[in-house]
Amino acid sequence: MGDRCRTGRRKKQAGIGMMHELRAALAVQRWDDHRYYHHSRINQSLHLVSALSFLAAYVIVFVSPLWAALIGWLFAMLTRQTGHFFFEPKGYDAVNRASHAHKEQIKVGYNLKRKVVLLGIWALSPLALWASPTLFGVFATQSARAEFLPHLGQIWLALGAGALVFRVAQLWIIRDAQTAWVWLVKILTDPIHDIMLYHRAPLYLLRGELIDPMNCGEDARSASPSAAGS
């Protein structure tokens, strides 16, 4: 009986230890993502808009997958990536002492080059569906043209899910399973975290502050206390 109790306690302690490790890894990924790739207050503000849009898409996806896909890609995704491509500084990062090339190389998720590929596939998908209303046999032939928008919504939802699965598998191979799963959790929960992190960004913009000074990561650490040790 005593051995069983000790074994149970060890398993419980191991489980708690693993959860702490995963939470710490998640905090590190979130903190690195903020400090490396979100200096621009405009980018942060666009991420706030994007986060609210993604949450709306999360809610309605079970009611209307079409509208969820349209909101997710046309509004949430475009506002988010507009911030990264057009407003985030691409020069030397004096705060983190890192070049833009280095930051792109070490990025856990989709860096700008990978995003160009993903967004290119997304942009070309309506043309492919218009050229082949059945998408080369994927959809039924009957009324395929009339179902253009619902089919496009399904394609965009599949593309989003496929992009997540692809990067998780890639990270699992080139890094490790923990990095892959932690990144997936981070991506899926980013809308909530971004609201916590960037809800003040529009106010800073109104004050004329275009670049986050990154003063000891005060905003990020207040939103994610466990990141302080990362």
Average pLDDT over residues 114-138: 94
Confidence of residue 16 (pLDDT cuts 50, 70, 90): confident
Phi and psi for 212 in degrees, rounded to 5? -70, 120
Q: Which of 8-22, 95-109, 157-171 has the lowest mean pLDDT?
A: 8-22
Closest by CA position to 114, among listed 176, 174, 177: 174
Average pLDDT over residues 58-81: 96
Contact of 113 with 107, CB cutoff 8 Å: no
Contact of 220 with 197, CB cutoff 8 Å: yes
Q: Which of 16-25, 32-41, 113-122, 173-182 has the lowest mean pLDDT?
A: 16-25
Closest by CA position to 110, among listed 178, 4, 33: 33
Per DSSP, helices labelled H in 38-111 are 41-60, 65-70, 78-82, 100-106
What was the pLDDT predicted at 3? 57
Which residues, in sequence order, are CB contacts of 191 under 8 Å at separation 6+? 50, 51, 52, 54, 55, 58
- 189 has a pLDDT exceeding 70: yes
Ranges of beta strands (E only) in the chain are none
Which single residue is written with the structure tokens 């939103």?
223
Average pLDDT over residues 195-223: 81
Contact of 227 with 31, CB cutoff 8 Å: yes
- 52 has a pLDDT exceeding 70: yes
Collapsing DSSP states into helix, strand and coil, what is residue 93? Answer: strand
What was the pLDDT predicted at 2? 55
What are the residue ranges spanned by the domains of the chain?
A: 2-229
What was the pLDDT predicted at 217? 46
Confidence of residue 226 (pLDDT cuts 50, 70, 90): very low
In angstroms, rounded to a whole number, what is the distance separating the alpha carbons of residues 41 and 204? 7
What was the pLDDT predicted at 136? 87
Average pLDDT over residues 71-89: 98
Q: What is the pTM of this model?
A: 0.85
